[in-house]
Amino acid sequence: MSAESRDGAATVAAAGAGALTLDIDIELPLGNFHLQCAERLQMDGVTAVFGPSGAGKSALLRSIAGFEPASGRVALGDDVWLDTAAGVRVPAHRRSVGYMFQDARLFPHLSVGGNLRYAARRARGGAPSFDDVVAALDLAALLRRRPSALSGGERQRVALGRTLLAKPALLLLDEPLAALDSARKADILPYLEALPAQFGMPTLYVSHAIDEVARLARRTLVLAQGRARAFGPTAAVLQRLDVQSIAGPIEASVVVQARVERHDLHYRLTWLELGGQPIATPLNEGLAPGAAAHVRIRARDVALATERPRALSIRNVFAGRLTELVAEADSPFAEAAVDVAGQCLRARITRAAADDLGLAEGMNVYALVKSVSFDA
Amino acid sequence: METDAIWLTFKLAGVTTLALLVLGAPLAWWLATTRSAVKPVIEAVTALPLVLPPTVLGFYLLILFNPDAPIGRLWVQLSGDTLTFSFEGLVAASILYSLPFMVQPLQSAFAAVGRAPLEAAASLRAHPLDAFLTVAAPLAGRGFLTATVLTFAHTVGEFGVVLMVGGNIPGETRVVSIAIYEQVETLRYADAHALSATLLAFCAIALLVVYAVNRRFPTHVG
């Protein structure tokens, strides 16, 4: 028995390339339904927990943190935090988790500096230095301010800094952007994108905003009605039609991974490379050539052709294979999935066009991409 | 002026308030955070001194503190002195009598702080006691001020329980309210006036301080 479980653990460790695994098998009554989630998550980088409001996302995070009386098992690597069968229930303050709340929850009686020092004083060994965190989050000018004198975005920056200073083994971010307007979101996102990796903390990120998930997360767990519905690499999970039906009226789109090729200052374009083919996007000088970039392509911005078109304003044309064609009789539209060098694009065309072109699964087609956005 | 009685009164109120801060704060914290089924029972017992005639409370305490009763006997064995008609007995009685004045303001202050800041503290590895001292207590500062002043002033103003349990022993149990009662009984109205006016001024100022500070104290919660 024990030999078998050791083997199992070894396999997972190999698959995760040394990454920590977060074992969750919990149950928690939640008003009109139960949160019931059994997943083994490989925690390298950011993992998103995605789903509609009321799906139990926050309850899942709060159960991991020890704020809810969930039953079952929660373990990060060898660290068992909850095992009701064995009578183990580690209290929240002894679980090495950092929790960033939607409402920041800075201590109102302490200054910004006081809030940060509160975390630093209670941190474990190997914690990042106070000055490094202050510099990374541009907090120097805020240190003497009271939390009540901060904007929503500043509060979240301080909250993130406070959490990083505590040096948790696992970072739990509970919709940290939900209370912010889109300009503020754009201010915070780069920090959320860079810092967990910079400070070496695997992260669970709860969101109901698909663009945040697509931008930040390497893997995504989809929750609906308290149950896990899908888990895997973000792009693959978000492409699944069943996931899209669970996630509600999200716009059909895919996130593809591309590599930054070069910037064209004259035409103000940034050229990316996707599966050996170039894509032009609006200039984004923040990306260094050679870096990986996530770009989002909406299904309604993708047209299909059976021959390579000429004399066309659309410059992003990809050769691929039609892998999926879904045409519902009561809808004017058909949805198609096209495999381009191993990555999947989704196209929304009219059912009439699909019939005229004689589209069928397995055909070679050209995907014409009218616009591409960096996933913000 | 009855300086002995005034000093004794303030000593009794001070010792009672300190003892209730130590005993009442954990009780108020427990009442504010528990989901236990016995909470209403404890709340009702805590509030009893508000509605009971002081003579009723005093009567039962007199019986409990009697050197022939278990508690009274234990105290005699431990201290060599009786609980009845002694300063220690007055302190014990005052703690019970003033309990709701400490617990109720603190309980509502802790309830207003809520769980949210404490979850934040726990996520930063603060032990519950650490979180209580560094987060809950400072955020409930206004409640502490109100509870402290009300407990002190209410103890200064008690009469019935003191009379029943302590009697009228100068320097030991003869507090201001007892002294005034005796002065009136013996028709020393001038002395009664002086002492009454002193007590009236003290209580008025104490309450004024509470309300003024409550208005200006920055509200942290919310």
Asked whether residue A245 carries a pLDDT value surpassing 70, the answer given is no
- Separation in Å, CA of A283 to nearest CA in chain B: 41
> What gap in Å lies between CA A270 and CA A282, rounded to an integer?
6
Predicted confidence (pLDDT) per residue in B138-147, tens digit = 999 989 999 9
More confident residue, A186 or A122: A122
Residue A145: C-alpha distances to residues A112, A149, A155, B64, B118 (Å): 6, 6, 11, 56, 22
Determine how β-strand A219-224 pairs with β-strand A46-50.
parallel
What ranges in A1-54 are assigned the alpha helix state H? 2-15
Provide the CATH number for the domain around residue A171.
3.40.50.300
pLDDT at A375: 59
Asked whether residue B219 carries a pLDDT value surpassing 70, the answer given is no
**Could you tell me the residue range of the domain that residue A74 belongs to?**
14-249
**Residue B208: CB atoms within 10 Å:** 10
Asked whether residue B209 carries a pLDDT value surpassing 90, the answer given is no
Which residue reads 């200006």 in tokens?
A: B216
Q: Where are the domains of chain B?
A: 3-216
Which residue reads 């002026």 in tokens?
A: B1
pLDDT band (50, 70, 90) for residue A124: confident
Which residue reads 């009554």 in tokens?
A: A29
Structural domains in chain A (count): 2
User: At B186, which helix (H) or strand (E)?
Assistant: none
Residue B218: exposure state from Cβ atoms within 10 A (0-12, 13-18, ≥19): exposed
The predicted model gives A241-258 an average pLDDT of: 64
Q: Which residue of B has its CA nearest to A170?
A: B123
Residue numbers in A near B116 (CB within 8 A): 101, 103, 105
Residues A290 and A337 in one domain: yes
Residue numbers in A near B117 (CB within 8 A): 105, 107-108
Residues A112 and A140 in one domain: yes
Residue numbers in A near B127 (CB within 8 A): 93
Q: Which residue of A has its CA nearest to B117?
A: A105
Residue B81: C-alpha distances to residues A207, A290, B38, B78 (Å): 68, 87, 36, 8
Residues A175 and A100 in one domain: yes
Predicted confidence (pLDDT) per residue in B18-68, tens digit = 999 999 999 999 999 888 999 999 999 999 999 999 999 999 999 999 888
Predicted confidence (pLDDT) per residue in A251-291, tens digit = 566 777 788 888 888 988 888 888 778 888 888 877 888 88
pLDDT at A166: 92
pLDDT at A5: 39
> What gap in Å lies between CA A307 and CA A321, rounded to an integer?
12
Number of alpha carbons in the 13 Å side-chain half-sphere of residue A227 = 5
Residues A32 and A179 in one domain: yes
Asked whether residue A114 carries a pLDDT value surpassing 90, the answer given is yes
The CATH T-level fold of domain B3-216 is: MetI-like fold (1.10.3720)
> What gap in Å lies between CA A130 and CA B73, rounded to an integer?
59
More confident residue, A112 or A310: A112
Q: How many CB pairs below 8 A link A and B?
A: 67
Residue numbers in B near A109 (CB within 8 A): 135, 138-139, 141, 220
pLDDT at B117: 95
Residues A38 and A73 in one domain: yes
Residue A35 lies in a domain: yes
